[in-house]
Amino acid sequence: MAIKIKKYNNVSWINIIKPNNDDLKYLKENFKFHHLDYEDVTGESQHSKIDIYPSYAFIVLRVPVTHKDSKLLSSHEVDIFLGKDFLITIQEKKIKILNEYFYKIANNKKLQNQIFQGKAALLFYHVLEEMYGISIVVTDWLIKEINKVEKQVYDEQTKIAVKNLAIFRRNILNFKAIIEPQRFVIRTLVGLKNDYLSAEYENYFDDIADYIERIYALIATSKEIVEGLHETNESLTTFRLNRTMKILTVFSVSMLPLTLLTGLYGMNLNSLPFIHNEQLVWYIFGALILIIVGIFAFLKKKDII
């Protein structure tokens, strides 16, 4: 079985990674949870939610996960059963931060004395604190990457900037979808008063609620920055395109006299003016070229092109 159990002062933390039939059998034999909760555990991925029962609460949370190679952000589900003297965490996929914290507590008697006291709600608070700590790390990573994209935008690295802006717009929307439902879950925990989550823990979970609100505010700020960078990049791209079109238009119009002359003198006629004075024809061409160069110099000086 993939079950790890740490018990201290009559409070138990049961940590399960990728539960199989034996793990579910163990839970059903030792805990009387609602059958719908077991269906949620074994079924498809769930959005964050909380179901309140007289003797326990069933909570679904999603932990953000970054993929540094692709710069994409996704999430892993963790299902939680919270009772008076037990905390059960069930990981759909292995969540590094959660497992590291489990073993940190399991191997540290001082931490056990601090955390495994009273009700399991105190342990749950510390677990949430670790989980949302990784959300802050993800937020810092997003902001750092967005700053890199900002430099790309103003350095006119258009192609890579457009690609990265699309990636981080997607990441921010995903992150918002992960965090937003959890605001309701945590606020519900703050106001919950029963046998396994009494008023003495209200300040603890209110602290977590403030934590998640800060994360949500950072996500909202990141979203505004990315949208602003997207608009700036579009404006710079349009400006460069308009400038290029302007230069090409001026060049095309400036070349019309030369095109006219070459067209005229390219005809096999003896009646064209100056046809027998080759030197004068070249002077005319030279004068036109000087006029064209002068036009470009004037437009450049006026910052028109």
pLDDT in tens, 112-140: 888 888 889 999 999 999 888 888 888 88
Please tell me the pTM assigned to this model: 0.76
* pLDDT, tens digit (0-9, with 9 covering 90-100), for 43-94: 887 889 999 999 999 999 998 888 777 778 888 999 999 999 999 999 988 8
**pLDDT for 230:** 87
- Confidence band for 280, pLDDT divided at 50, 70 and 90: low
Higher pLDDT, 247 or 211: 211
Q: For position 254, what pLDDT does the model report?
A: 72
**Mean pLDDT over the full length of the chain:** 85
pLDDT at site 304: 64
Write down the pLDDT at residue 128: 93
pLDDT at 111 over 70: yes
How confident is the model at residue 88, as a pLDDT?
95
Q: pLDDT digits over 97-108, tens only?
A: 889 999 998 888
pLDDT band for position 266 (cuts 50, 70, 90): low
Helix axes 35-42, 21-30, angle to 10 degrees: 160
> Where is pLDDT greater, at 256 or 107?
107
What percentage of the chain carries pLDDT values higher than 90? 19
pLDDT at residue 33 greater than cutoff 80: yes
pLDDT of 277 over the 70 cut: no
